[in-house]
Amino acid sequence: MEKDIKQVIILRKNIGMGTGKLVAQGSHASLMSFIHTEKIYPEIAKKWLAQGETKIVLKVNKIEEFEDLKNKLKRSDIPFQVVKDAGQTQVPPGTETAIGIGPYYTDEINKITSKLKLL
């Protein structure tokens, strides 16, 4: 039986990004994380594409939640990428706005993200 694979996008709701900015940052996170995963886990990336590219978008409301999530991911085998904004519009340069997680095995991602709320 094949394991389910998904990608999770985490967006920061505590920094005042408008809807369009949130969508753009989520898109950056998705693409960056996919490219990273494809390099280190090509078979997982390929299976995710074949399974329909499941994506879930979650939110964090506090910087502490965002930092805690990054630290947990760093200690795992789950591929992820952090988006740092260029600072041309709504947030200062270098602001971390989003995290793209995976694609990777759903059960492993859920161990880290299950307490977060949908956007």
Q: Where are the domains positioned within the chain? A: 5-118
- Tell me the two tokens of residue 70: 């990054």
- Tell me the two tokens of residue 52: 């329909």
- Say what the pTM is: 0.94
pLDDT at 74: 98
CATH value of 5-118 in 3.90.1150.10, 3.40.1490.10, 3.50.50.60, 3.20.20.80: 3.40.1490.10
Backbone phi and psi for residue 77, each to the nearest 5 degrees, phi listed first: -95, 5
Q: Over the stretch 7-35, which tens digit does the pLDDT of each residue have?
A: 999 999 999 899 999 999 999 999 999 99
Q: Over the stretch 86-119, which tens digit does the pLDDT of each residue have?
A: 888 899 899 999 999 999 999 999 999 999 999 9
